[in-house]
Every structure is written in structure tokens, then in C-alpha cells.
Amino acid sequence: MKPRVSEPDLPASVEVFDTTLRDGTQREGISYSLDDKLRIARKLDELGVMFIEGGWPGSNPKDAAFFAKASQERWTHAKIVAFGATRRAKLKPAEDPSVRALVEAGTEVCSIFGKSSPLQVQEVLRTTLEENLAMIEETVAYLRTQGKRVIYDAEHFFDGWKADPVYALETLRAASRGGAETLALCDTNGGQLPWEVEAAMRAVRTALGPKARIGIHAHDDTGCGVANTIAAVRAGAMHVQGTINGYGERCGNANLSVILPNIELKFGVPVLPPGKLLHLREVAHFVAEVANLSPDEHMAYVGNSAFAHKAGVHVAAQRRHPEAYQHVDPARVGNESRVVISELSGRANILSKAHELGLELGGEHIGTRVLEVIKTLEHEGFSFEAAEASVVLLVRRQAKDYQPPFSLLDYRVMVSRHGERRIADATIKLQVGGQEMHTAAEGDGPVHAIDKALRKALQPVYPRVKNIQLADYKVRILNSKAGTAAITRVLIDWHDGEHRWSTVGAGTDILEATWLALADGYEYGLAPQPAPVKTEAGK
């Protein structure tokens, strides 16, 4: 693997230090259970990161329990790391409960942070600059006597570098004298810019010499967490810290989901074992699911839209050459190229989407006809970008021999209130095969009632309808200034235990919009599914 450009300071390889389970948990809204942390740690180990920072054993019982459980597991690639601080002022390391907790965590590797900035030492720790140097060196040295490998996080390093570069360097030398194997320069406040990080990194490497192992720990408060990390590697950093999906306090940490492919694919510097980058998207989405957060669909490399093509001219070019509008092959990070269908689409979008979904159009004129239908419907409020199943049905319905599994004859919904009790009743009449099915159902609301009545009508002929489930139901008002006459768009996500699909409906009548999305969902789910065809870039 060769660098894309000549960079004399690039390291031969970069070790990955993941702090999703420690720094990442400080994001608002994230609270992992002990089992969650173990599941994520296993996934990170499978990805091949070198270090997994599991938490701060001296701060809470859950983190202490994590290290106890982690010690009973076999880790293939990663070292589990316990995090803590230097000893408190005027205490010996062995007397400090936080330092003792690091020893008791039972990990081979510890990560400790200390202050690099005179302001932090004098105003926050309320101690002297000399005592801070002793705190750093003695804590690292004590952990080394306990058989620990130590990674030193130089907290607020870049702020300290600006205020007093001589003292900032002395803190690193103190950690090095104590026996720290890696010195990670931390942009704790996240306020640096890439050229500042790169200049400081080069100066530190020059001052400490070629044997010093220097790393970077960046936060994203200027939106430059990834760029600052890349700048540090360009200047010779051989150790990067960050979190999957950039989770972390305030604006987050440097995002490993973007950093890792940038280093490996753009610099040509290995960061993971061979072949492991292919699992990056899977891991990014797994962590989001465990965190109970929606994945960022537009995140570079791993987002669902990272390689999605919507503009007709782009798709036409992509059909001719897979690199026309893609900077890397998406398969290299476990992603794939997608074609988005919308009113901005050209005929190439329809042809590519049909190929992607394994559909035979039977002539390009059908693609043109489908495109005209889509543009008309989107003008009326439909949106097919996130409703691929509805697109598939639009294509299928163009075939002369297509027979839908059912067709609507009539439906009626009534909602009433009797005291505190609200009742929704739906009746529906369908043509199913050669039979006319007339059913009724009561539900918690009109949508629930329609769905139950529809299921009741379909199940005698299609028993597998019982496996089809609504996974999500979204309603959006498009032109709210129209008041109660506004157009409503309904998007429904579905699954049957094996496949997932989405459908859309729209109109000024919310029940009719819902019916259109419901009917598409069942029609798609009951029909045989074609085998998807990979695009060239996704092979």
C-alpha cells in the first residue's frame, strides 16, 4: 500500500486507540449498559483496533464491572485500556484511590491524563508547575512498577503550547521519564485548526527526537476533529484517538469512522489489519444501534447516502464509469453505491435502480414512462428517495402481464368517542385473486383499524401476511400554511424478519395517503423479491 502523495513525515503505520466506551459515553443522550459496553468492545476487537479504552474504573461501579468482565474474555486484536488521572497533589501514587483503581482494573495498558497548560495547573488543580511535573512522572513510574504499559494523554496540550511551549514540552518529558510508551497531544477544548495542530506536532517531534511515539486526541468543537487528526498524522503522529461516529461530549470527538479510511485509503498508511476496513460501515451502524441513535445517513464513507447518486447527469456518468462521481470504491469500507429516485432523476437513474434491484424493464421507453410518473407524483407531494419499494412497484406495474396480489374496491373509516373511550372502526372491500373480501376491524386509531382490516382480508389467501410488520410510521406536513388542507406525506418502514422495505403515500387526505403507503407495503411484501444486482462500484 503506497501513499497517494509523497509525505516524508508520514509514519509507516498508525495505531488506533478507540475511546467510544469512555469519551464517547459523555455525549448527551448516551448511557450504555454493562452488556452494551461489552457488545461494542467485541465489535471493535473484530474491527481490529489496537486499543479499546473501556472507562474510568475509579469513577463508577459500571466501569469497574466492565473491566472485571473484560478480563474473562479473549481479545483477538485489541488491548483493553483503563483510564485515569495523575495522582492528586501532595499524595503518593500508591495512596491515591484513583491510581489504585487503575492497578486493580487488571488491564495490561493504562491511559492517564495530566495537565499541560500553566492555566490548568495553577487555576484548576491549584498547585505549582513543579508539583504538576512530579505528579505526571511519579504516576507513570508507579504504574510501570505495577507492570502496566502507560499511554499518557497530555490534556489541553495545544492551549498550553500556545501559552508556554517550554512548559508544555516539560510535561511530555516528565511522562517520558516515567516510562510512558506513547504521548498523546490532546486538543481538549476542540478549538484548534489543522495548520496549528500540524505545526505543533512537527515542533514536538523535532524537540523530543525520532524515538518518541507521539499521538493525537482531538475534539470537534470547531468542526475540525477529523481534519486536525489527519494533519497530525501528516506531521508524523503514529497514534490516533477517537470514537466511532464521533460520539463525545459537547460537539463530539474526532470521528474514527472517517479518520480510518482517510488514513488508509488516502495516505496509504495501514491502520487496521488487512481486510478489516471492509467492516467499518457495519461497525459504525452497530454502535449507533446500541447507542439508540439514528445513524448519520450523510456521514462520509459509512453513511447510507455517502455514495448515493440523485442527479440524472451524475447517474448517467456513473453508468459509464464507476469513478465518475465517487472518490473511492464504496465496497472498500463496506458500503455500496446507490441510485436515488426523485423528480431530479434522469432516465439513467431509473435504468440503474432497476438493475440494482434486479428488475427487467423490457425497454428504455418503460424507464422514461416510469420517470414521468415519478416526476408527476413528486409534484403532488410524494418522495421516493427513501421509498424504494414504491419505486419497484411503479416499475412492475408497467409490465402488461403484472397482476397485483390485491386491489381496493372500497374502504370506510369511522372514529367515535363514548365518554373517555375512543373507538376507530374500519371496513374494507378488496379483490383478492378471484374473490371479493369484505372485512371490518376495530383499532386504537384509524390507521391501526385500516391495517387490521386489510390484514384480515389478505390472510386467508396469503398466510405469510402475518410475518409482515410495520417497523416505523412517519407523517410529514409539506405545506403547513395551507392549514388543514395541507398535503400530508406518509412514509412507512416494513420488515418480515428477513427483508426490510419502505413505501410512501401523499395527499391532502391523511387516511388516503396512509392507505397508499399501506397498500404498497403489502403488495411489495407479498410479491416474490428479485435478487439485487451489485453496481460496478459495489462489486
Output the pLDDT for position 344. 46
Q: Which pLDDT band, with edges at 50, 70 and 90, does 52 fall under?
A: very high
Question: Lowest-confidence range among 195-204, 255-264, 277-286?
Answer: 277-286
Please count the residues of the chain: 539
In the numeric block, the cell 503518593 is attached to 92
**pLDDT for 382:** 75
Please give the residue that has the higher pLDDT: either 98 or 534. 98
Using alpha carbons, list the distances in angstroms from residue 400 to 243, 366, 433, 434.
53, 11, 17, 19
Per-residue pLDDT, 499: 82
- Backbone φ, ψ for residue 140 (5° rounding): -60, -45
Residue at grid coordinates 381496493: 408
pLDDT of residue 534: 44
Among residues 212, 209, 216, the alpha carbon closest in space to that of 185 is found at: 216
List of long-range contacts for 523-528, beta carbons under 8 Å, 24+ apart: 523/393, 523/404, 523/405, 523/406, 524/389, 524/390, 524/392, 524/393, 524/494, 525/465, 525/468, 525/494, 525/496, 525/499, 525/501, 526/405, 526/458, 526/462, 526/464, 526/465, 526/468, 527/396, 527/405
Whole-number pLDDT of residue 385 = 61
Q: Which residue has the higher pLDDT, 419 or 204?
A: 204
- Of the listed ranges 220-224, 234-238, 328-332, 391-395, the least confidently predicted one is 391-395
Nearest to 242 by CA among 525, 17, 487, 474: 17
SS (H, E, C) 433-499: CCEEEEEEEEECCHHHHHHHHHHHHHCCCCHHHHHCEEEEEEEEECCHHHHHHCCEEEEEEEECCCC
Q: Which amino acid, 461?
A: V
* pLDDT of amino acid 468: 93
Phi and psi of 409, rounded to 5°?
Answer: -105, -40
What confidence score (pLDDT) does residue 368 get?
63
Lowest mean pLDDT among 388-392, 416-420, 458-462, 528-532: 528-532
CA distances from 169 to 115, 158, 172, 201, 402 (A): 11, 11, 5, 11, 74
Q: Which pLDDT band holds residue 325 (cuts at 50, 70, 90)?
A: low
> Which triple of cell numbers denotes residue 437?
373480501
Average of pLDDT values for 301-325?
61
The grid coordinates of residue 269 equal 498508511
Place of cell 439513467: 348
Distance of alpha carbon 16 from alpha carbon 19, whole angstroms: 10
The stretch 263-267 carries a mean pLDDT of: 96
Supply the pLDDT for residue 336: 78
What confidence tens digit (pLDDT) does each residue in 198-226 have? Answer: 999 999 999 999 999 999 999 999 999 99
For the record, the C-alpha cell of 471 comes out as 417497523
Picking from 55-59, 77-81, 108-112, 139-143, which range would have the lowest pLDDT averaged per residue?
55-59
Distance CA 341, CA 287 (A): 29
Q: Residue 367's pLDDT band (boundaries 50, 70, 90)?
A: low
Residue 532 in this model has a pLDDT that exceeds 50:
no
- Cα-Cα end-to-end distance for the chain: 21
Cell numbers linked to 451: 391495517
Specify the CATH class of 15-290 in words. alpha beta
Rounded CA-CA distance 337/499 in Å is 19
Q: How far apart are CA 13 and CA 9, in angstroms?
A: 12
Q: What is the pLDDT of the chain when averaged over all its residues?
A: 87
Where do the structural domains in the chain lie, given as residue ranges? Answer: 15-290, 308-396
Residue 380 pLDDT more than 80?
A: no
Sheet holding 469-477, edge to edge: 469-477, 488-495, 500-507
Quote the cell numbers at residue 185. 497531544
- pTM of this prediction exceeds 0.85: no
CA distances from 8 to 214, 226, 267 (A): 16, 21, 11
411: three-class secondary structure by DSSP: strand
Asked if 81 contacts 105 with a C-beta cutoff of 8 angstroms, the reply is no
Residue 456 one-letter amino acid: K
Q: Identify the residue with better confidence: 267 or 386.
A: 267
Residue 68: phi, psi to the nearest 5?
-65, -45
In this model, does residue 538 exceed pLDDT 60?
A: no
pLDDT digits (tens, 9 = 90+) for 499-531: 888 898 888 888 899 999 999 999 999 876 554
Please report the beta strands in 345-455, taking only residues with DSSP state E, as ranges in sequence order.
Answer: 407-418, 421-432, 435-443
Q: What is the DSSP letter of 345?
A: -
